[in-house]
Amino acid sequence: MARQKKIPAHAGSSDSGKSQDLDVALFRYGQIAPVLNGTFDGSAAEYYRRATQSEVEVPHNGLRSFKPNTLKSWLNDYRAGGIDALMPRLRCDCGQSRVILPEVEDRLRELLSEKPKLTGSMARSTLVDEGLIISKSPSASTIRRFIRSQGLRLKHASKRERRAWAKRDVNELWTLDFKHGPKIGKVKTRLLAIIDDASRFIVLGCVLPSESYAELAPRLLAAFMQHGLPKALYCDNGSAFSCRDLALACARLDIALIHSKPYDPESRGKIERFFLTVEKRFLDPLDAAVLDSVVNFDRAFDGWIDTDYHRRVHSSIETTPLARFLESTKPRRWVSRQQLDTVFYRTIHRKVRKDCTVSIRGRSYEVGAEWIGHTVELRSPLDEPNTFILFASGEPTMTLKPLDVLNNDRCNARARFATKEITVNQDHEEQS
């Protein structure tokens, strides 16, 4: 292989970088020392061939293979400049792209200064439109690597002021999030956690098979029943948190639903820090036997929260999350299970047709004649997805029944009269 000219990330400026370069120089000296000292059998050419037949471990570079001419060049360098000459050399074009021309580089820097979030593909399209790129090279991936290596986004991105904060009272703010858990059988588990901002207490921690609203809603309802209602819920923009049903439930309960900015996990730092603790103190030492089922995994997670996390002193609040949560004397807001059941529904709207029916997932359901032509609000209980209740002015009015055309025929007076008339006529004809 040709002579290696390593470009260290430290560019030879730090003490650790110089130490690494010296290690490489000593390795190279070791490879040519037998020739320098004459402690080899046969000719120098034979020694070079034998020394380069297999890969060798190079300090800080891993396994590498070399060609005989590379060792010859090291010998010449050493004779010319000693051990310093064997240290890795910087390329003359270090820090410069050999694919991106200077005029393209200058324009890229201008574009990123104007639009720090511009993607590599969009930047390339702009450069093509401007005539600065007229071939397939550089590609969009090359441009992305160049932007990243030069730190152009970091240089031009506006710095946002971010300060540590915390709520004063329990149930002022709950933060929700999911974390990917281990795969159990064919199920990719998710760990759901809701943390109270003021106390760092986990008001809900469980293992779910998916990140859907159908899985989230009953657990959230249980948390409200056990700990009261929070003033606000803070979450990301995941599908379970962004669905209309959750927004409606929070609005009916007078709970503010706040979503963080996309791709900004730092804004939810407390829940992210909790999941880091979960990783280190729960998942890493977890007994493999616990992962035989989702149910056992869920029990283990809940038990760890109760016996370990809640009862250890939290450095930020200088007490345990359990103690801080329980010592709060501020009155909490409670609602009955019956109220929550009327709130946590899946809600849909349908227009009532002229035959007093609405269509839901391809099936017809009957509605009262007074609703013909009106768009009605239908809610479905969480535990009964095929039951639909018509709500008017926020109150349940009737439970819809699936359309039964045969039963309607028996109840249809005109249809019975027509049938009776036909039967009478037939009997009369037979008698004649």
Quick check: is 417 in a domain?
A: yes
**The pLDDT of residue 216:** 92
pLDDT of residue 228: 95
| Residue 421 confidence (pLDDT) | 53
Check which CATH number belongs to the domain holding 291 and give it: 3.30.420.10
Same domain, 79 and 107: no
Same domain for 189 and 127, yes or no, is: no
State whether 182 and 285 are in the same domain: yes
Q: Are residues 178 and 320 in the same domain?
A: yes
| DSSP β-ladder status, 232-235 and 363-366 | unpaired
Residue 89 confidence (pLDDT): 72
Same domain, 115 and 223: no
Answer whether residue 5 is part of any domain.
Answer: no
* Region of residue 164 (left: phi > 0; alpha: psi -120 to 50; beta: else): beta
Question: What is the four-CA torsion angle of 42, 81, 54, 41, rounded to 10 degrees?
Answer: 10
Q: How far is CA 317 from CA 171, 181, 265, 321, 378, in A?
A: 16, 28, 22, 8, 46
Round to the nearest angstrom and report the end-to-end CA distance of the chain: 113
What's the pLDDT at 154? 63
- Both 81 and 138 in one domain: the answer is no
Residues 232 and 256 in one domain: yes
- Dihedral of the alpha carbons of 336, 338, 344, 345, in degrees to the nearest 10: -170
Report pLDDT digits (tens) over 346-405.
Answer: 888 899 999 999 999 889 999 988 999 999 989 887 777 788 989 888 788 899 999 888
19 HSE (CA, 13 A, CB side): 3
The pLDDT assigned to 116 comes to: 77
Same domain, yes or no, for 285 and 190? yes
Which domain, by its residues, includes 22? 15-86
- One domain, residues 312 and 204: yes
Residue ranges in the chain whose pLDDT is less than 70 = 1-17, 90-98, 154-162, 263-265, 409-432
Residue 94, in any domain of the structure: no
Task: Identify the domain boundary among 86, 111, 126.
Answer: 86
Which residue, 125, 156, 187, sits at the end of a domain? 156
Q: CA-CA distance, 119 to 138, in Å (whole number)?
A: 14
Q: Report the distance separating Cα 211 and Cα 177, nearest Å.
A: 10
Q: Are 193 and 205 in contact (CB under 8 A)?
A: yes
Statement to judge: residues 189 and 323 lie in one domain: yes
Looking at the structure, tell me whether residues 223 and 313 fall in a common domain. Answer: yes
Residues 300 and 370 occupy one common structural domain: no
CA 347 to chain centre: 27
Burial label, 403 (beta-carbon count in 10 A; 0-12, 13-18, 19+): middle
Q: How many domains does the chain have?
A: 4
| 231, part of any domain | yes
pTM, entire model: 0.55
DSSP designation for 134:
-
Comparing C-alpha atoms, which of 72, 77, 76 is closest to residue 88? 77
Q: Is residue 290 part of a domain?
A: yes
Residue 360 lies in a domain: yes
Phi, psi of 184 (to 5 degrees): -115, 110
Contact 301, 281 (CB under 8 A): no
